[in-house]
Chain A
């Protein structure tokens, strides 16, 4: 018993190393769940419906022979409601028959120059 019998220790050490590797893999797997999460999160984050609805509303205003585009009360309604309820900045104006639309909700920004081919 002068020296501890260590000749089989490397078997246990290998077993221990394999366990540690399995734990590391488990950590990687657990983090991949966080990565997979962002697929539908990014769908929710992109304001697709906001932008579609804004365009549709502005085109509806335009169809009344452009009078409603310049009407200030409508413009303020839209801008204040967008800012207050949807945290987005919206502006639109026309330059003869070209319509400019701007939208920015802090994460996504949308700019359009719409020309009527008529």
Chain B
């Protein structure tokens, strides 16, 4: 033992250790990289957040229009519905102007780009059933598969409504709002 026997000590019978160490390391690195590069936690929630913001803003804007500015005078929403003559044309310029302003005004940036379509629902007193909705107004931009929210307001119409179907009733105003 010695001399050429020493050559037996330096051999490649333990190369397996090195290779196994390297292969384990590569296995762990690849796993960790795959996992970290595919973690997109935030994305699924964003749809609901924007819906929540949009629904709150839309309801606020419609509520403001349904609040009379002074005691004794009717609100802007009431006046626009009252003065909209039957058959309803589906476009009410006065309402559109106010509603667009309330929805799209931002304080520091420029205007937002929200669009809407408003319908009225009322109940027929003789049959007791809900009638098909009246297309009250829209801002002209067609609706096509955007994420939209629906907001509502209640209006108590008096006997001065120009549409006899809406006289002396409580009606539901539904606005569909989306961002394009």
Contacts and interface: CB of A to CB of B under 8 A. Distances in A.
B48 A19 contact: no
A93 interface: no
A76 B123 contact: yes
A8 B168 contact: no
Interface string A17-39: 01100110110011011101101
Contacts of A23: 31, 35
Interface in B1-50: 13-14, 16-17, 20-21, 23-25, 27-28, 31-32, 35, 38-39, 41-42, 44-45, 48-49
B156 A61 contact: yes
B52 interface: yes
B152 interface: yes
A78 interface: yes
Given A80-B128, A81-B172, 11 more contacts: A11-B20, A16-B24, A19-B27, A19-B31, A22-B32, A26-B35, A40-B45, A40-B49, A50-B152, A74-B156, A77-B169
Nearest to A64: B156
B28 A15 contact: yes
B26 to A, nearest CB: 8
Nearest to A33: B41
B23 A15 contact: yes
B51 interface: yes
A9 to B, nearest CB: 7
Contacts of B24: 11-12, 14-16
Given A19-B28, A76-B128, A8 B170 contact: no
A34 B128 CA distance: 44
Contacts of B143: none
Contacts of A60: 156
